[in-house]
Amino acid sequence: MSKERICLITNDVETTSILNHKLRDKTGEYVLNQGMPRLLDLYDKYGLKATFFYTGHIAKLYPEVVRMAYGRGHEIGSHGLTHEVSKAFDVLSPEEQLSHLKQSKQILEDIIGEEVVSFRAPAARVDKGFPQVLTEAGFKVDSSVSSQRLDMMFSFGALKKLHWLTAPRKAYFVQTDNIFKKGDSIILEAPISAFGFPYIGTFMRIAPSLNRFTRRVLYWETMCSGRQFVFLTHPNEFIDEVQETTEIERRGSNYISYMFGDVIRHKLKIKNLGEKALPIYDRELAFFKEKRFEFVTCKELYNKKKP
């Protein structure tokens, strides 16, 4: 029997300026006027429905950025309240996590007038006990775990992501007290695809041929196990912004972390930004169309998997 072929196209919508290496409201305007229309047109071309995760910050700033995706049939999910590194979910207390989740959910629900059930943490940073808070806030699907993604040196909060090494690869209901393990809670985890390298927009832009190789390996795996593809990209990767300053903001706490985490990472991350990213992404989507994958949203995956 052939395995099911499912692909989730997911988008994190935020005000991060990749070019200027910081959060910037002005970038949100580019996302609204350039990034989102480009992606929405591309998705229409393939007749696919995607999931868009919004920070409360950008949703409040430009509610239209939410409405435009909702109006075209896509799922609206939460990407937390803010993308500030100091307020990542694995730094906040459980009380703060709950408050951020509830506020972000409310902002989005007020805009679309429909329940929001799917979540992805900014920078995919969550801690073990997170399912309890997610449940309490009324979420059903999480997509913050990236099983067997190994590019940790370039990622903030890296040590806490060691759990990714042992997390299941197929979508799974998590343990109430451990998001990285299979269990019987009501939260469905849809892991972001990776096979050593992550299968995400950033990697697609900076190393297109290596990315195609990763995708082929992942495809072979799907043929064997039915593992869902969960591709992650950002509308802010498809904007043609103007560079404000050449200075790179320092986030790493020591020199090594600054060199790898800030300088090299920045140089890589700006490759094929903006309009140049579109034909590369188009080829990725064409692959799934050609291989007759079913494109589903997070909520649709939940409805397929719920007991």
Sites of contact with Zn ion (CB under 5 A): 12, 14, 122
How far is residue 151's CA from residue 254's CA, in Å, rounded to a whole number? 19
Closest to Zn ion by CB, 13 or 296: 13
Closest to Zn ion by CB, 14 or 75: 14
Closest to Zn ion by CB, 84 or 110: 84
In the chain, what is the greatest distance between 2 CA atoms, to the nearest angstrom? 56
Closest to Zn ion by CB, 6 or 298: 298
Least distance in angstroms from the C-beta of 16 to Zn ion: 6
Least distance in angstroms from the C-beta of 121 to Zn ion: 8
Least distance in angstroms from the C-beta of 242 to Zn ion: 22
Residue 45 sits at φ, ψ, to 5 deg, of -55, -35
Closest among 171, 244, 239 to 201, alpha carbons compared: 239
How far is residue 198's CA from residue 262's CA, in Å, rounded to a whole number? 19
Least distance in angstroms from the C-beta of 80 to Zn ion: 8
Are 288 and 229 in contact by the 8 Å Cβ rule? The answer is yes
Take residue 37 and report the two structure tokens written for it: 């229309």
Q: Is 125 helix (H, G, I), strand (E, B) or coil?
A: coil
Are 304 and 9 in contact by the 8 Å Cβ rule? The answer is no
Closest to Zn ion by CB, 12 or 241: 12
Least distance in angstroms from the C-beta of 257 to Zn ion: 20
How far is residue 132's CA from residue 197's CA, in Å, rounded to a whole number? 29
Residue nearest to Zn ion (CB): 12
Q: Which helix (H) or strand (E) holds 60?
A: helix 56-61
Closest to Zn ion by CB, 87 or 182: 87
Least distance in angstroms from the C-beta of 182 to Zn ion: 26
Take residue 232 and report the two structure tokens written for it: 């992650």
